[in-house]
Amino acid sequence: MSFAFERLEIPDVILVRPTRLGDTRGFFAETFRASAFAAAGIPGAFVQDNLARSGPRVLRGLHFQAPPHPQGKLIQVVRGAVYDVAVDLRRASPTFGRWVGRELSDAEGALLWVPPGFAHGYVVLSDGADFAYKVTAEYRAELDRGVRWDDPTIGVVWPVSEPVLSQRDRALPLLRDLDPPL
């Protein structure tokens, strides 16, 4: 089995395309191999797996876990399609405040690596979606943070009008108001 690794416009965010072996019965694909991912710059020290189910037009994000336990995320859509976004929140980074987005779907099977120091969010493009991801640090409620999905300074162009949002996501701060900053 093999993988194709593509560094996106923000080079630390990596799109991973596993090889699928298929026939009339369906397909098989490896979705993670520690040695191949490490060679591509993606750590294999995942400590927690998560699964989220969302309905159409649901937008979740932009979320991150603050230091000292920031999370890197290896993301895959196992049912449906989403538009997935990563925003660089590393103040010392040359791409601070910039974002990158890609459509992920079960049909394509690509994964996305979002490193620690990034906010992450997605909006469902299909009738529903199941979203699975591995993280590099266990969840800690006291470090759970976010930034507004529609922050004009970041300027994410979401492909859905009138997304379905939680009250929490509606009330997240703007990038300039993050407390504490990363």
Rounded to an integer, the average pLDDT of 42-57 is: 94
- Per-residue pLDDT at 32: 93
Token pair recorded at residue 21: 């072996």
Q: Which pLDDT tens digit goes with each residue over 126-175?
A: 999 999 999 999 999 999 999 999 999 999 999 999 999 999 999 999 99
| Predicted local distance difference test score (pLDDT) of residue 34 | 93
pLDDT of residue 17: 97
pLDDT computed for residue 160 by the predictor:
95
Strands 26-28 and 129-135: unpaired
Q: Would you say residue 182 has pLDDT above 70?
A: no
pTM of the model: 0.94
| Contacts within 8 Å (CB) and 24+ apart, 168-172 | 169/59, 169/60, 169/61, 172/62, 172/146, 172/147, 172/148
Catalytic residues: 63, 133
3-class DSSP assignment, residue 10: coil
- What does the pLDDT look like over 58-92, one tens digit per residue? 999 999 999 999 999 999 999 999 999 999 999 99
pLDDT value of residue 44:
75
Q: Write down the domain spans for the chain.
A: 3-177
Report the alpha-carbon distance of residue 98 to residue 45 in Å, rounded: 26
Residue 6, pLDDT score: 97
What is the model's pLDDT at position 181? 57
Burial class (CB in 10 A: 0-12, 13-18, 19+), 43: middle
Name the helix (H) or strand (E) containing 170.
helix 167-170
Q: What is the DSSP string of 26-76?
A: EEE-----HHHHHHTT------EEEEEEE-TTBEEEEEEE-TTS---EEEE
CATH fold of 3-177 reads: Jelly Rolls (2.60.120)
Residue with tokens 């859509």: 77
**Burial level of 100, CB count in 10 A (0-12/13-18/19+)?**
buried
